């Protein structure tokens, strides 16, 4: 075969390989998440009795916190969504703690809806005991309950409107 007959396929192969190597534009950066307008942590002990999820026995201070928060949502900056996140301590089993944290979040959500916050703008989820803010080694049950109090909380995150 002549040199020319080898050159044509070699040129075609090289062109094909180079076409696959052409520089592509980098993928655009993902949009940053919407900013959190408010991030509020409410002590569950101030809202609920130990091991309970009902707001029936809400303390005056707890009611004041929730009322002020609802008022700030209704009269404040526009928002996209309100996330209510319930937490529990580690006392008891994980499944029961998850259920308790879900019920606490749902109770706070329902309270805010009753105060006029649109229901379609509020989510409620429980995280159980998987996101503690304190760790305690107390052996005495009462001391342990007191030490773990900061883990029993409800967090409310308000995401800004676009």
Q: Domain boundaries in the chain?
A: 35-160
- Residues near 5 by beta carbon (within 8 Å), at least 6 away in sequence: none
Tokens 């309100």, residue located: 82
Residue from 121, 114, 112 nearest 82 by CA: 121
Pairing type for strands 79-86 and 36-43 reads unpaired
Number of C-alpha atoms within 13 angstroms, CB side, residue 79?
A: 23
Tens digits of residue pLDDT in 68-107: 999 988 988 788 999 999 999 999 999 999 999 999 999 9
- What percent of the chain lies above the pLDDT cut of 70? 80
Q: How many residues does the chain have?
A: 162
What are the backbone dihedrals phi and psi of residue 65, each rounded to the nearest 5 degrees, phi first?
-60, -45
Tens digits of residue pLDDT in 97-151: 999 999 999 999 999 999 999 999 999 999 999 999 999 987 899 999 989 988 9
- pTM value is 0.74
Q: In the CATH scheme, what is the code of domain 35-160?
A: 3.30.1330.60
């Amino acid at each position: 075969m002549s040199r020319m007959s080898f050159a044509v396929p070699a040129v075609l192969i090289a062109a094909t390989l180079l076409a696959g190597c052409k520089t592509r534009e980098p993928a655009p950066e993902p949009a940053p998440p919407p900013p959190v307008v408010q991030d509020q942590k409410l002590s569950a002990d101030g809202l609920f009795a130990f091991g309970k999820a009902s707001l029936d026995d809400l303390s005056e201070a707890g009611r004041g916190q929730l009322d002020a928060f609802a008022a700030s949502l209704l009269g404040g900056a526009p928002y996209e969504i309100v996330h209510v996140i319930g937490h529990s301590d580690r006392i008891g089993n994980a499944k029961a703690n998850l259920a308790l944290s879900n019920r606490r979040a749902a109770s706070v959500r329902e309270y805010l809806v009753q105060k006029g916050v649109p229901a379609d703008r509020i989510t409620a989820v429980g995280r159980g005991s998987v996101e503690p803010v304190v760790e305690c080694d107390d052996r005495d049950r009462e001391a342990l309950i007191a030490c773990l109090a900061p883990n029993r909380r409800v967090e409310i995150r308000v995401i800004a409107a676009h």
